[in-house]
């Protein structure tokens, strides 16, 4: 049961990552907003804390940052990005 919960949480997080050809040239984005995953990952990689990011971008949620990190992890596991966002 614990593994099922973890899988559900992973799926809920990944559902936050979407693509839309009319937003950010179809790049993976957070919840249909104009925040490309790559930007969020760059902020995290630059050393910004979750609190700093959330303060600067008030429409983002902590779960969005987790979703971006999880997306990056999952992306390293697949050969075709379509498998993640289809």
DSSP string, 58-74: TT--HHHHHHHHHHHHH
Residue 80 has pLDDT above 90, yes or no: no
pLDDT for residue 74 is more than 90: no
In whole angstroms, give the CA distance from residue 30 to residue 65.
9
Would you state the pLDDT for residue 27? 96
Using CA atoms, how far residue 20 sits from 2, 28, 59, 69, in Å, is: 33, 8, 19, 20
Q: Kindly report, residue by residue over 17-43, the tens digit of the pLDDT.
A: 999 999 999 999 999 999 999 999 999
Count of domains forming the chain: 1
Give the CATH number, domain containing residue 81: 1.10.10.10
pTM > 0.85: yes or no: no
The span from the CA of 11 to the CA of 67, in Å, is 9
| pLDDT value, residue 79 | 73
Containing structural domain, residue 29: 2-85
């Amino acid at each position: 049961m614990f593994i099922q919960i973890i899988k559900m949480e992973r799926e809920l997080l990944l559902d936050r990552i979407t693509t839309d050809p009319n937003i950010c040239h179809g790049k993976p984005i957070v919840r249909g907003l104009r925040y490309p995953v790559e930007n969020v990952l760059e902020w995290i990689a630059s050393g910004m804390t979750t609190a700093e990011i959330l303060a600067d971008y008030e429409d983002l949620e902590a779960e969005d940052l987790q979703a971006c990190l999880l997306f990056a992890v999952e992306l390293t596991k697949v050969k075709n990005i379509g498998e993640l966002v289809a």
